[in-house]
A = this chain, B = another copy of it.
Amino acid sequence: MSTLIHESAAECCTTPTSSTLDPERAADLAARFKALGDPNRIALLSLIAAGENAEACVCDMTEPLGLGQPTVSHHLRILTDAGFLTREKRGTWAYYSIVPGALESLCSELCADSGLGSMLQASRTVKDAQEPCC
């Protein structure tokens, strides 16, 4: 798998071409974005955020989504593995709640690592101070 730059770097002639963010980091960011790339998972985040104490258990989510319980568990697992949710088991029930900084962190990491940040500052002159972005 060649992809991107980053080579061993100890090489005598490292390609002078602009090296981008290393593949590992790109994969990490992409994996987290992918976890958000499903309508039902977005709906789950919304349901949890809107729930009592900003948490919700599986049984409360399977019906609004119209999905089977295994499927809901599956999606919750993906969101949890991606770092967007935490699971707390109280009795027989499993309560999922949102990890506070996860989403903003993802966005800001992409901006920072990819050099998108400078882009944005330039654009900020146009539509500045419109939305605090989270």
Binding site for B on A (CB under 8 A): 1-5, 17-21, 23, 26-27, 29-31, 33-43, 45-47, 49-51, 54, 64-67, 98, 100-101, 103-108, 110-111, 113-120, 122-123, 126-127, 131-134
A50 to chain B: which residues have CB within 8 Å? 2-4, 18, 20, 114-115
A105 → chain B closest CB, angstroms: 7
- 15 CB contacts below 8 A, A to B, read A2-B50, A3-B39, A3-B67, A26-B40, A26-B43, A33-B36, A34-B36, A34-B38, A35-B37, A37-B37, A49-B115, A49-B119, A100-B126, A101-B127, A107-B133
Knowing A2-B66, A66-B1, A123-B101, the reply to whether A30 touches B21 (Cβ < 8 A) is no
